[in-house]
Structure 1
């Protein structure tokens, strides 16, 4: 059947919605206003992308990926300035690695 879009759970309200061509949750309403999960990746995915806004750093474990032993697992995602996205990114890293994600700002990244 053509024209059927894949679906996934919204990271904000938890309901299932169709995905856009960019694999983001379609715009939808929750309690009469636009849901904060609209236009964002589905639940369980990295919280930010280049569509999200100005990237200010990354959340990762281990914090210093350049000198870390990555054979024990690692996860890293870039984040924008939204503090809620930082918390979501830290939770995503925790699910992937079992360790709390650490924010590393753009200034520290360019020195590495």
Structure 2
């Protein structure tokens, strides 16, 4: 009976030491019992059959290239629309400026040929 308690106590001590070493690893690492140290989870991407890789959680790196393309294309579209609006406005202003009637009558002056 005493030997069972002693074995259980030794197992508990060993488990505590191993868990203590595992807790030293940060979230992007896992404990490798083969080399007794923390190993980066990036090795699991290169070597997926590495033991204890199942403890690593991978977040998919999303590509933001489409966002950059969308922002760029909308910016170019906005510049084109504003430029087109300005050009059309200037053209309409010129067209209507030439056809405006005079607001004040032209003063007729008498010259040497037309005496009053």
Q: Give the alignment's TM-score, normalised by structure 1.
A: 0.23
Structure ranking higher on relative contact order (CA contacts 8 Å, 6+ apart): 1
User: When you count strand as a share of all residues, which structure comes out higher?
Assistant: 1
User: When you count helix as a share of all residues, which structure comes out higher?
Assistant: 2
Q: Give the alignment's TM-score, normalised by structure 2.
A: 0.23
- Between Structure 1 and Structure 2, whose CA radius of gyration is higher? 2
